[in-house]
Structure 1
């Protein structure tokens, strides 16, 4: 599995959506992608490197005929920055037919048992998450940011991490497990392989850690 790097561009929303669509692409084409986050940064209705949401990028994909390019056909810029104009509006069709269009479903808040069922039966989940805040006077957000930025291994557990504010980062839940008696989510980030556990993070499951189930 190839871990991507958004670099200095606030484009986690695009990378997370591409990660969430991996299984869809494999099921349709019986081969792996990867799909292009750069197309979403350049072409969608979101804010390029200033952040965005899955709603805007999915609306763009729908309006583009449920199509998104592979990364080889629409590569990322060297710095991850948004380009002045959209380079390519074509791409791979991500729906089975005109009746079965690409869709999303929002899960009920706080139900991590149901989230586990969805991951098992259907695949990755796109989530928003409180990754902390480096500036300001909020001690809890400072501590959360420091622990998230410097995560390396083990199960990430930050007691007191706010669950209903500062939802400032998007990632993808790709699996789950139990380690030394503690349940966890396995999540894919977009900060390259030098961050975390080769680009992944295990986050405590069952505690709505930092709002991942909000």
Structure 2
């Protein structure tokens, strides 16, 4: 976990009211099927014992949207490591493993940009994720040091500045299911943050809605699509707790009633396509 809610007033300043809503929104939609040539959309990340969900989910959606905006010309994983370690405004100066703000993450993507970087141990890109998988670690991992001008992957030959990708804009999506769906249809997966209760930790399948259990904190995730199951509408979501959790790393959550504040913290942006 590790998502920090932006103040309501600040979030409203980012609202995008110019999202174009199509005449017909499909009953079921899966980004993995529409943009099947973008391999990043199929990925499930592992944030490990670090509260970097805000960076991991954001970098994942930025990667997806970069592939889509480039019309499949750019297939990269953007570095959650770079975002987590170097965006001080994202964390209020705290270590990136202690949580961060989605709005500041996307602002950083626009103003500074992100280099590439795959999963831990992948040797993919300039700055791969630096924290090893760990499902039973007793404490929060130490946040790696920020490297703003050089790659951490000694096998990667491209120079840091040449490897940067940037966003064109960033925006919050108002608490509106239709606007969230319309933006996903047009540009790809979006990010949201929600409240986590202890019953969510045991999710395996089906459509989650909070029934019992204590509040544990806030978490950021990537919305891939939506659907209807047994007449219940749901969001299709990629988590960042690896594929051993939930339904192969994914989960469904009740759609249309702001379950666990799921529909009031959506954020996205449009990348610059090279």
Q: TM-score range by the shorter chain?
A: 0.7 to 0.9
> Over residues 182-210 of structure 1, what are the superposed CA-to-partner deviations in whole Å (9 max), with x where a residue is unaligned?
11100111111011111111111111111
Note the 1:138-149 alignment, pairs <5 A: 145=198, 147-149=199-201
Match of 2:56 in 1: 15
Counterpart Cα distance in 2 of 1:37 and 1:2 = 13
Of 26-35 and 183-192, more deviation after overlay is shown by 26-35
Match of 2:195 in 1: 130
Report the secondary structure of 1:195's partner residue: coil
Closer, same or farther: CA 166–192 of 1 in aligned 2, 3 Å? closer
Segments of 5+ residues of structure 1 without an aligned counterpart are 96-101, 133-144
Closer, same or farther: CA 200–24 of 1 in aligned 2, 3 Å? same
Match of 1:116 in 2: 181
Counterpart Cα distance in 2 of 1:203 and 1:130 = 12
1:172/1:187 contact within 8 Å kept:
yes
> Cα RMSD over matched residues?
2.4
Counterpart Cα distance in 2 of 1:166 and 1:78 = 22
Q: Where has structure 1 moved over 6 Å in runs of 4 or more?
A: none
How far apart are residue 39 of structure 1 and its match?
A: 0.9
TM-score after normalising by structure 1: 0.79
How many residue pairs match? The answer is: 191
Note the 1:40-55 alignment, pairs <5 A: 40-45=83-88, 46=91, 47=94, 48-55=96-103
Counterpart Cα distance in 2 of 1:15 and 1:52 = 11
Aligned partner (choices 117, 121, 127) of residue 70 of structure 1: 117
Aligned partner (choices 53, 66, 76) of residue 25 of structure 1: 66
Larger RCO, structures 1/2 (Cα 8 Å, 6+ apart)? 2
Of 84-93 and 71-80, more deviation after overlay is shown by 84-93
Match of 1:98 in 2: none
How far apart are residue 44 of structure 1 and its match?
A: 1.2
